Amino acid sequence: MSIDTLHAQVFLLPDLGEGLTEAEIVEWKVAVGDTVEVDHIVVEVETAKAAVEVPVPYAGTVLSLHAEAGTALAVGLPLITVGAAPTPAEPGAADRYREEEQAGSGNVLIGYGTGHAPVSRRRRRGSTPPAAGRTHPSPAAVESGPRTADAAVPTAGPACARLVISPLVRRLARDHGIDVAALAPGRADGIIRRVDVEQAIARERQAGSPVASEPVGTPGEQRIPLRGIRRAVAHKLARSRAEIPDATTWVDVDATALLEAKDVLQAARPQQRIGLLAILTRICVAGLRRFPELNSTVDTAREEIVRFAHVNVGFAAQTDRGLVVPVVRDAHTLTTTQLAAELGRLTALARTGALPPEALTGGTFTLNNYGVFGVDGSTPIINHPEAALLGVGRIIDKPWVVDGALTVRKVTQLSLSFDHRVCDGGVAGGFLRYVADCVERPATLLADL
């Protein structure tokens, strides 16, 4: 008995959420030769938003895994190939499909299952335009019905001689300075495989040509790859700094009354924890209603400022996997008690790595309580593509003047970073002063309820 490849289907890495273009393979849950059912979890991947377990929409035998653990794979590239249940076949048929370079195409969007969308849409969203000289499987070839896995790729010839399916092969060529467009494929299907690149590397070395290699550090130097959330955070913050002309303003405030208000609310709802973050979120929502310029984004393509009718508040949460920003949706419709419940729910999911990707997207404003790290102030970077972020420092005893007399009060610092394209300093200062007044005199909120 051998694997029947007549109905082999290649499952592409699906779109896992808003704005996500790639994911890193964390752990394969299956191996070549395993039998899977529809919606069987086959791999855990880490995106810019969260760790996600990915189910496969096909049933059958695993023929190949197209990327190794630790590989960053673009949305729309082959992830796993599944063949029909075992049937009699010629010896060695299964082995041909165990190579990580095996070609093919499938089409599954977020939600998985068996629903399919047009291939042309997946190509636009999930992959970059092919380089000159490369040819990819056409939609017609993909959807043409029963076929072997080889039927999904072009036949040999000049038009397909630079086809590279495996991200591992592309990375190997890139790391060693090999131009795949200049290589001749070793097989008739026109695919450049690992062995083709390795042979090119060997030829370059024999000819004495310089071949790029891994960077060599000094003794004791440690090199840590930017991967997973750390990589996503780096890219997003760099984009924010590059695109948003931000400015920061700050103020010290007396938070004594805020702490007293929290204790009163907690006593009134002993069955539920109501923390400072919930009250600060309530204050920010009220402030954004007064200063809607900060509840917006800039559409650079159309040169428009987009103001949102809803308020989705993101809050920074430090986890074992790194910094994530869960989003409380429609925060303007929730009571303080409901905000506390939702903040607690999202925080618990974040700490266990169970947040779904959609819980990490769609924010219109971010609140960052970095005071939990024991620091007083910061110039926080805006969470792109939002227009503002409020940072809160630690609350500590400090000398403070009250009614002309020096006393000790609970003092904190509030920092507001804002996109100078959406407003000027007057609006930003007005918002920050309103938030500060609510912190110092929480009863001020009653005027907006």
> What amino acid positions are annotated as catalytic residues?
420
- Are 130 and 164 a contacting pair, CB within 8 Å? no
Helix (H) or strand (E) holding 365: strand 365-368
Closest listed residue to residue 98, CA positions, set 124, 64, 146, 52: 64
Would you call 394 exposed, middle or buried from its count of C-beta atoms within 10 A (0-12, 13-18, 19+)? Answer: middle
> Which stretches does DSSP call E strand in 17-169?
22-28, 35-36, 40-46, 51-56, 60-65, 72-74, 78-87
Q: How far is it, in rounded angstroms, from Cα 47 to Cα 54? A: 12
- Are 277 and 367 a contacting pair, CB within 8 Å? yes
Residue tagged 């920010």 (tokens):
284
Would you call 139 exposed, middle or buried from its count of C-beta atoms within 10 A (0-12, 13-18, 19+)? Answer: middle
Give the CA angle between residues 110, 240, 326 to the nearest 5°: 45
Q: How far is it, in rounded angstroms, from Cα 177 to Cα 212? A: 5
φ, ψ (nearest 5 deg) of residue 304? -135, 145
- Are 389 and 416 a contacting pair, CB within 8 Å? yes
- Are 49 and 20 a contacting pair, CB within 8 Å? yes
Residue tagged 């790859």 (tokens):
225
φ, ψ (nearest 5 deg) of residue 46? -120, 125
3-state percent helix, strand, coil for the chain, nearest multiple of 5: 30, 25, 40
- Which amino acid appears at position 46 of this protein? E
Q: How far is it, in rounded angstroms, from Cα 157 to Cα 155? A: 6
Question: How many residues are listed for the chain in this entry?
Answer: 449
